[in-house]
Amino acid sequence: MGFIEILIQVTWVAVVLFELTAAAVEFPIALPNCTDSCGGVEIPYPFGLREGCYLNHHFSVSCTTNSSGKTQPVISDDFIITNISLQGQIDMSMYIAHDCYDEQGVLDDKNSNDAWLNLSGIFTVSNTQNKFVVVGCDTYAYLKGYQPYNEQYSTGCRSQCESTRYIVNGSCSGVACCELDLPIGLRNITITSESFNKHAEVWRFNPCSYAFITRNGSFTFSVDALRSLRDKKEMPMVFDWAIGKERCKDVENICGGNSTCIDSDNGPGYRCECKDGYHGNPYLPHGCQDIDECENHDNCKGSGEKCLNILGNFTCSCIEGYHWDRSAGVDLCVINQPLLQVKLFVGVGISFIVVLVCSSWLYLIVKQRKLIKLKRRFFEQNGGLILQQKLSKQENSTAIAKIFTNEELKKATNNYDETLIIGRGGFGTVYKGILPDNRIVAIKKSKTVNENQIEQFINEILVLSQINHRNVVKLLGCCLETQVPLLVYEFIPNGTLFEYIHHESKASTISWETRLRIATETAEALSYLHFAASPPIIHRDVKSSNILLDGTHTAKVSDFGASRLVPLDQTQLATMVQGTLGYLDPEYMQTSQLTEKSDVYSFGVVLVELLTGKKALSFDRSEEERSLAIYFISTLKDNRLFEILEKHIVKEGKAEQLKEVSNLSKRCLRLKGEDRPSMKEVATELEGLRKMEMHTWVNVDSNSEETKFLLGETSDSYKYNACNKSTNVYDSVGDHVIFDLDDGR
């Protein structure tokens, strides 16, 4: 063997050993001669534990020992670091704000404090990785901070309950727990927790209010948290970090080799990241090193292929005995062998395909059986057997509910295509669907249903499906094969009354005559629910967005998600307050005693909307005009009625009629329910006003007796007998407080 051949072999061995050694060395994360960890937490550059090891003082980390002897990294002398990511995130522990009282309602100073965090400008609260959480049954809390350009930011959240009966573990939607998303670029935060009544009524199971920001998934609410959080001081939290305040275009040579600069997406500054095909610390001069893609066995895994690593990428080639075949339009390594061997491989391939097809067929059969069992379980869980039993007893009824299959409704909505969504509300989402018989329906996908009250839920479906009134949206049936039942209603094509009153393009198209007819039809529908339905039904969420209009502007009362069925031997119900702000009966809000007069108040607000064209509640108006009901009553007292009425209605010249309807609205909006007329009286009076309009020969001033007959007698003394005992009746969405500002249909 010659000298040159020996030299070549030695060189080749040296190269192989060098590559093996390089592969065994981990990518460095800190500057040379700098410690890269503390207490088991990695400290990558630009962070560091001593001067000369960090980029600047903002990235200085201290390695301290706590009272129990545990070593841990801290920043800003107080906040414990649990993880630092080179992708621009840092995990730390954040304090919990407490507001605690003893049994006598005295503030517990030792267990009460605000929480604050004031880090340097390179840190911002991650808006994608955190939530603001408030826990307590007598609690409200504030979060304050600063956004980019030193703009102040504040938000708040409230959670209430009177007992643990209706608290749902894992749910943080307002009953004992509420949570909020965070904005972009939030920093220098302060959290304050407070209580309404010093926890006097709930002290035995919840003595404190709590508020904190925590990493998504790190806290799951449960009843036990109402007490256990008192002993917990901190919660894990995620911050985004960036370098400086400049953007990438304003700086040069800022990142190491084989890396690139990217602007921060949560506030000012920039970050560095390795280019594709490289891995390491992009902030070090040579931190990003080539990845050996050939270690990933998914690369070049075709028969006869081998992988060759190149800088930032890899390439595939054929091993000995194979050659590239590009005849099929795809590069493949094909073996060099006789036709007989090729046929053998073809036979093996076909056998493999047959086995694969058979396995897939068996898998689909097993999966289908599991799906059938799951549908059956949901059907029984949602009361399907109870509903079938009750329907079998009503075979002679012409208006019974139909039980739809899940497949029917998926097909009707094109698998619940988002483009078919026609409404979102506090209780669910509504889709437009077409049944096989070409009927167009509205399919409501509810959010939740109380499993402990399935029988009452089924009874409500039966009652609502048998309501046969031209001004009430018809419930056609339901589907019980899904985790949450689906309800199927008749489809009303022309939108909501809210749209026709408040959208500029439609508001002036409805005359006063049409508005009066819509009001009359709505009143007749509510009167039917109160007095003709058995058992009587209180709608509890009467508003203009729950009144639909068909092609001829005929009113259709809809959305019974908050309705209550009233036992025949009772006139009022004790419930958790629920409805839409601006329409809520103030007496109901104060006493939680629900009566049919609560619907009368809400209808009175709708009447005022029809008269004025203004929204029931608007924070864009001045404080005096914010609540339409209060402002309307005020204008009547000041004899300024025609100043608030919608202009084009006043021009129609129905002054006396407008005054009568305004006075009727005023009576409906009386603070005491017993002083309001019944819906039957309201419907009668509105119908009388319509008849007066149709018979133009009626002279209001000179034919007062006839007019009084047409308008009907109003009874301000009409009262219900109050019941002082709360009753256990079924609520179709569960007894939790929902204040809906305006959820549409």
Residue 275 tokens, joined: 């280019």
Q: In whole angstroms, what is the distance from residue 528 CA to residue 397 CA?
A: 20
Q: Specify whether the backbone of 105 is left (phi greater than 0), alpha (psi in -120 to 50) or beta.
A: left
Q: Per residue in 2-17, is it b (16+ CB within 10 Å) or e — as a string?
A: eeeeeeeeeeeeeeee
Contact 365, 373 (CB under 8 A): no
| CB contact set of 561 (below 8 Å; sequence gap of 6+) | 425, 426, 427, 428, 444, 446, 541, 732, 733
Q: Per residue in 434-468, is it b (16+ CB within 10 Å) or e — as a string?
A: ebeeeeebbbbbbeebbeebbebbbbbbbbbbbbe
Instruction: Compute how many other C-beta atoms are within 10 angstroms of the C-beta atom of residue 72.
Output: 17
Residue 706, CA distances (Å) to 244, 507, 516, 665, 698 in order? 83, 34, 20, 22, 8
- Active site amino acids: 541
Q: In whole angstroms, what is the distance from residue 595 CA to residue 607 CA?
A: 19
Q: Per residue in 218-252, is it b (16+ CB within 10 Å) or e — as a string?
A: ebebeeebbeebbeeeebbbbbbbbbbeeebeeee
Burial class (CB in 10 A: 0-12, 13-18, 19+), 623: exposed
Task: Name beta bridge partners: 131.
Answer: 214
User: CB pairs under 8 A, 24+ apart, for 56-64?
Assistant: 57/120, 58/120, 58/121, 58/122, 59/122, 63/35, 63/38, 63/39
Which is nearest to 675 in space by CA: 576, 542, 586?
586
Residue 474 tokens, joined: 């018809």
Q: Supply the DSSP string of 228-294, one letter for each residue.
A: HGGG--EEEEEEEE-BSS--GGG--S-S-TTEEEEE-SSSS-EEEEEPTTEEE-TTSTT-EEE--GG
Strand 151-160: give its sheet, edge to edge: 115-117, 187-195, 138-147, 151-160
Is 445 annotated as contributing to ligand binding? yes
Q: Is 546 helix (H, G, I), strand (E, B) or coil?
A: helix
Residue 26, CA distances (Å) to 81, 268, 485, 520 in order? 23, 32, 55, 80
Contact 610, 500 (CB under 8 A): no
Q: In whole angstroms, what is the distance from residue 648 CA to residue 657 CA?
A: 15
Contact 404, 478 (CB under 8 A): yes
The conformation of residue 193, written as its DSSP 8-state character, comes to E
Q: In whole angstroms, what is the distance from residue 553 CA to residue 569 CA?
A: 37
Strands 475-479 and 402-403: parallel
Q: What are the binding residues? A: 445
Q: What are the binding residues for ATP? A: 445
